Amino acid sequence: MFTFGYYNLKMKFLSPGQRNAFCLVSISPIRKEAKDSSEMVSQLLFGETVNVIQIIGSWVEIETIFDAYNGFVDFKHLLAISENELTTWSSNFEYQKIAINTIKTPWGQQLISCGSFIGKDNFFTIGNYSFEINSSKNETSKNPIEDQFLNTPYLWGGKSIFGIDCSGFTQVLFRLKGINLPRDAYQQMEIGQTIEFVNHKINDLVFFKNNDGKIIHVGLVVAPNKILHASGMVRIDALDETGIFNNDLNKYTHFFSTVKRIQ
């Protein structure tokens, strides 16, 4: 059994020359620039690993290991690990499959969201740090994971059950299927097989464009002519060859571009 207690722990924050780290908090904003007022472009979830590019004061410029996303993170949200520890953890984690869980850490208990990086057993380590997760960590829910996200508020750059954007949502859903998609919608559209709209089926991704033809939105087919997507909140709307029709607003909110099937 592990012993937990923040005050008995010497936390190894990053210092110059260290090149690998993992996210110690439930959710860490990745910002476009090295300041709190900068736009949040994505998020790290607990246990997610990064390559360190440089340390600038209290900020760390990082590149995420699993989707090669760049930005700036508060250095207090990361703990240093060695290259060997990174390799070990990268081959020994799984993604949390239930919406919210509690984890015991050396610095106390904290909530973690679906898609967080956790151990394959209830007790696990990342580098020199020990963790314990709820015994029902991946207990099958009565509802599919897609339904567990319903009504999650839209958050630009978000990737968690507490707030999520359209491509963050599809990335998390496909990670749980064992497929690691890129972070942004326009990048995700480059993956998979293009399908004619009339042949769309459940689990296809559908992409939407603006007036300039730029890909600005993505969602998941959950039934014929029904799409699950993050727009205002995670919701299910009608889908046709024009785009997404929102019955609450009585109008089309997004305009169709492409259907992709991800194998």
Catalytic residue among 77, 200, 229, 254: 229
Pair 111, 164 in one domain: no
Pair 80, 190 in one domain: no
Catalytic residue among 23, 77, 200, 217: 217
The two tokens of residue 50 are 């990064």
Of 136, 133, 141, 140, nearest to 117 by C-alpha is 133
What pLDDT, on the 0 to 100 scale, is given for residue 139? Answer: 57
What pLDDT, on the 0 to 100 scale, is given for residue 138? Answer: 57
Catalytic status, residue 254: no
In whole angstroms, what is the distance from residue 206 CA to residue 173 CA?
14
Pair 153, 73 in one domain: no
Among candidate residues 89, 107, 133, the one where a domain is terminated: 133
Q: How many CB atoms are closer than 10 A to CB 48?
A: 21
In a domain, residue 215? The reply is yes
Range of the domain at 21: 6-133
In a domain, residue 189? The reply is yes
Pair 109, 149 in one domain: no
In a domain, residue 140? The reply is no
In a domain, residue 186? The reply is yes
* C-alpha dihedral (25, 92, 161, 58), degrees to nearest 10: 30
Question: How many domains, the chain?
Answer: 2
The CATH code of the domain that includes 95 is 2.30.30.40
Catalytic status, residue 23: no
pTM of the model: 0.91
Pair 176, 93 in one domain: no
Pair 117, 160 in one domain: no
Pair 119, 165 in one domain: no
In a domain, residue 139? The reply is no
What pLDDT, on the 0 to 100 scale, is given for residue 146? Answer: 82
Q: What parts of the chain have a pLDDT lower than 70? A: 1-10, 135-143
Catalytic residue among 77, 114, 166, 254: 166
Catalytic status, residue 217: yes
What are the two backbone dihedrals, phi and then psi, of residue 120, each rounded to the nearest 5 degrees? -75, -20
